[in-house]
Amino acid sequence: MPHVPHRKELPQRAVDTVYDTLKQRILRNKLSGGSQLLEDAVSADLGVSRTPIREALARLEAEGLIEAVPRHGYRVLPITMDDMRDIYQVLSPLETVAAELLAEKKPNTVEVKALQEAVDRMAAALKADDLDAWAEADETFHARLVDLCGNRRLAKVAHLLFAQSHRVRLFTLRLRDKPMSSVKNHAALVDAIRKGRPDLARAVHAGQRTHWTDTMGQLLERLNIHQL
């Protein structure tokens, strides 16, 4: 017999749909910093009642992507140069620790394969000149890295920061050189993790994150971009 959704399941599905739709628009800069979000407008756009919209907006606010503006709905929070610096000052060490922890616990074949598959997708995307697919594979790699490290609190904080850093990555994707070295660097990290070398994993990841952060900062300054 097919599953008949309980009455309470349907509103939650609506909340998830609104949340996912708006979040992707923000992450892909289709809703840029400063954009206004009104419940009535979102309701008309997505064909959903205001109750699930209200809950979805509250979730986005909790993640630091939007803020409530009295009598004016919500506003998409811009990311400034200072924000980017703050994000990576926290995110980079978290990911480096995650890489070290994962190497220490000597992951099994399935866990290593999950990381290697993401690297292979990155390589295939660059070969096909598909930068969007590369960004998606890169995002998958870093999500799997923190999810597999064994520290749930670290993973939770990292995922909140991923959402904000992803906006910068996609915005600059076609403004910078093709990230050809990314495949080699990520493959080196997977190799260090596979060998159970936490010291090497830490060094490889810290080095690639420092390079990426410096490159992004220089690019945005050169283009005179102060916020997204």
Quick: pLDDT tens for 180-215: 888 999 999 999 999 999 999 999 998 877 766 667
Element at 66 (helix H, strand E) = strand 66-68
**Residue 95 and residue 71 share a domain:** no
Phi/psi for 213 (5° steps) reads: -65, -45
> Kindly report the CA angle at 168 between 165 and 174, in degrees rounded to 5?
140
* Domain's final residue, options 24, 52, 76: 76
The pLDDT > 70 percentage for the chain reads 89
**Residue 95 and residue 70 share a domain:** no
State how far Cα 190 lies from the chain centre: 20
Domain holding 57, by residue range, is: 9-76
**Residue 90 and residue 62 share a domain:** no
* Domain's final residue, options 17, 45, 76: 76
* CATH of residue 40: 1.10.10.10
Please tell me which residue, 216 or 149, carries the higher pLDDT value.
149
Question: Does residue 227 form part of some domain?
Answer: no
State how far Cα 125 lies from the chain centre: 18
pLDDT in the model for residue 6: 43
Mean pLDDT of 37-47: 95
- Give dist(CA 199, CA 134) in Å, integer: 27
State how far Cα 160 lies from the chain centre: 8
* Domain's final residue, options 44, 76, 108: 76
**Residue 53 and residue 87 share a domain:** no
Neighbours of 34 (CB within 10 A): 11
In the predicted structure, residue 8 carries a pLDDT above the cut 80 = no
**Residue 67 and residue 98 share a domain:** no
Strand stretches in 79-173, DSSP E: none
**Residue 22 and residue 135 share a domain:** no
Phi/psi for 151 (5° steps) reads: -115, 100
